[in-house]
Structure 1
């Protein structure tokens, strides 16, 4: 027994809502700190996620173009080696509400939404943004996801008319380019409502122009200033269904499939106290990633990380993992303070300037502090051959040795 009265029978309970980049980073980095041989700290981590596995969201454009890659992009939680240990539990379900004062959460478990209460010492909101299909698959199980992705891939592979991707943000560009790269026989058209791609992002014009050039180099036809007005399914004489598409500028076309790549992302934060949220639903945090509101009881032991926080910068996987890392370190510091009376030394995140990494077929574009770079070497460094899956897997040490 240590000074705080904690033991294997009475561990620190950490509840993490969300098992993607930031949530898994919290778990892995906290466990690494608590596993120190000299003075191991008893913790019990519970990760709640609507999916039954880790889904590599960045890989969506390729997962929805290649069945082989789709198999790789979703890994059941039970098959992540580093987290197969007695002090880590995965719950397939949703956190529906938390009470910061009593430090309890209400969890709705899949598949029947059975409700149960879960007590915790530390809570981490890492549930990200709710994104629509086909920006991300909507399935809750790997089996359903493979079926969902397979149906989509079959529809585009067997297309007789062009596949129309609507939305020239990062998702639309990558989706159109990957589809053309993997299925070169398919005609792919990307339509965007503005006069430049990436128009919603705070990026310089040369980055947006480069994105256009790289997209066109893949063989994708790009229609700028084309806002979708209507898409009407019609059945041809041979029984196949196509879409009669009209744009607000009067241009019409026939498309075999219309892929809406406009993300309309909504923060998944309904379970958090309203006092902790900004107007758009994102979570207000301190640079330590603790909740910033003084109206939330026990705000010091409640953290938020990843895409759902109200922080500067374009949402990126690297930023989410970095924040998860820091939250794990900061929880460890609070535990040490309780156990040993040490004043915590917190890791803090800084304001994030606009930066982006964009995969476009065989090339990639990057923009950040060192300006813009593009080409095959940028693709290798940022994404390798699998849209960053191996880079993320190894960075999070998910294949690490079992305890």
Structure 2
């Protein structure tokens, strides 16, 4: 999904500026951030406090690779055309995590006549997630009930053929001829190359419970982190990232107030890791889990969890972005779009 900054009414304030560019380096000692703007020019910003929430890098089509909405539309249109062209031979999705499950399910829902196969190297779907067995079993059942061919416990090797189709070869010697392959199992990479190496731990950032960045058990002054870039256990969820962002922002505000008013005793918020939970779109159905309610599944859970737009405007108790106003961003925004 794509959301332009001015679509967030809460951020439409004269004291908030948006700068689009690529961060090159951050110097904690001088409190200086260097970045490259969209024209390729080197720029810099001084900061009082800085919050790092750059997340993880994942390849297209798992996440958009474009920096602009119009080029994203072009990417998406090309991707859809490839699905349509693969109608006869079908589509193979490699990787049975949440991303692979949702890819396979949505393609089958929207292109019912196209054969869809989901391949996973482990004996069950969602094998890396700390979720109940029932959640994983129901996910498999819903996929197969919708006509999706699920192949488990087989590693796949993909060979592209001269005609643009593919052979997907399995370790048991079988192979599948298909019109399109979607790789949904790539390991994410922390987006942290701009940070000093002494701050990083295998590419991620360590923080204390206040979400202040720590290195060798010492707090790095005036630096906070939130989201997937932080080295914490559990499922990488948007709701978790937003909670971390709220805690970090509250603590930065508290420190700013204390800085201006010496009599003020800053009260720091503590981040507590959320219990595992997930709402997963499975084609025309859904599987949901919280520790309070257990596992729920079926078509009746699609609307309360995801609405018609995979949760963008959902009012469900699961973390979503429904609190923000929608903005009409269509191809009309791109005069050169087809």
Task: Using structure 2 for the length normalisation, give the TM-score.
Answer: 0.88
Contact 2:105 2:283 survives alignment (8 Å): yes
Instruction: Give CA-to-partner distance per residue, 1:334-369, whole Å, 9 cap, x none.
Output: 111112231111221113443322111222212231
Query: Residues of 2 paired with 1:231 and 1:355: CA distance?
Result: 37
Give the corresponding residue for 1:318.
Answer: 239
Aligned-pair distance for 1:198?
0.8
The count of corresponding residues between Structure 1 and Structure 2 is 319
Instruction: Give CA-to-partner distance per residue, 1:193-239, whole Å, 9 cap, x none.
Output: 1111111223332222111111112221111122112322232xxxx
Give the corresponding residue for 1:115.
Answer: 42
Contact 1:230 1:247 survives alignment (8 Å): no
Give the corresponding residue for 1:127.
Answer: 54
Instruction: Give CA-to-partner distance per residue, 1:66-94, whole Å, 9 cap, x none.
Output: xxxxxxx3133244433233222222211
1:154 is aligned to 2:81: yes
- For the aligned residues, what is the CA RMSD? 2.0
1:286 is aligned to 2:181: no
Runs of 4 or more above 6 Å deviation: none
Aligned-pair distance for 1:396?
4.7
Question: Residue 230 of structure 1: which of 158, 163, 178 is its match?
Answer: 158
Give the corresponding residue for 2:125.
Answer: 197
Query: Residues of 1 paired with 2:24 and 2:178: CA distance?
Result: 40
Query: Residues of 1 paired with 2:255 and 2:43: CA distance?
Result: 27
Q: Which has the higher helix share?
A: 1
Question: What SS does the corresponding residue of 2:109 show, helix, strand or coil?
Answer: helix
1:178 is aligned to 2:117: no
Question: Residue 182 of structure 2: which of 259, 263, 271 is its match?
Answer: 259
Q: Which has the higher contact order (CA 8 A, sep 6+)?
A: 1
Query: Residues of 1 paired with 2:308 and 2:211: CA distance?
Result: 33
Question: What SS does the corresponding residue of 1:113 show, helix, strand or coil?
Answer: coil
Contact 2:91 2:114 survives alignment (8 Å): yes
Aligned-pair distance for 1:283?
0.8
1:1-400 maps to which residues of 2 (within 5 A)?
A: 73-110=1-38, 112-159=39-86, 160-235=88-163, 241-278=164-201, 280-293=202-215, 299-341=220-262, 342-370=264-292, 371-391=294-314, 392-396=320-324
Instruction: Give CA-to-partner distance per residue, 1:167-195, whole Å, 9 cap, x none.
Output: 10110000110111122122111111111
Contact 2:166 2:177 survives alignment (8 Å): yes
Between 226-235 and 280-289, the greater mean CA deviation after superposition: 226-235
Between 390-399 and 101-110, the greater mean CA deviation after superposition: 390-399
Residue 354 to residue 82, structure 1, CA distance change in 2 (3 Å): closer
Contact 1:227 1:248 survives alignment (8 Å): yes
Question: What SS does the corresponding residue of 2:140 show, helix, strand or coil?
Answer: helix
Contact 2:7 2:326 survives alignment (8 Å): no
Query: Residues of 2 paired with 1:251 and 1:383: CA distance?
Result: 37
Task: Using structure 1 for the length normalisation, give the TM-score.
Answer: 0.75
Contact 1:285 1:291 survives alignment (8 Å): yes
Aligned-pair distance for 1:329?
1.2
Contact 2:22 2:37 survives alignment (8 Å): yes
Residue 351 to residue 81, structure 1, CA distance change in 2 (3 Å): closer
Question: What SS does the corresponding residue of 1:147 show, helix, strand or coil?
Answer: helix
Aligned-pair distance for 1:397?
6.1
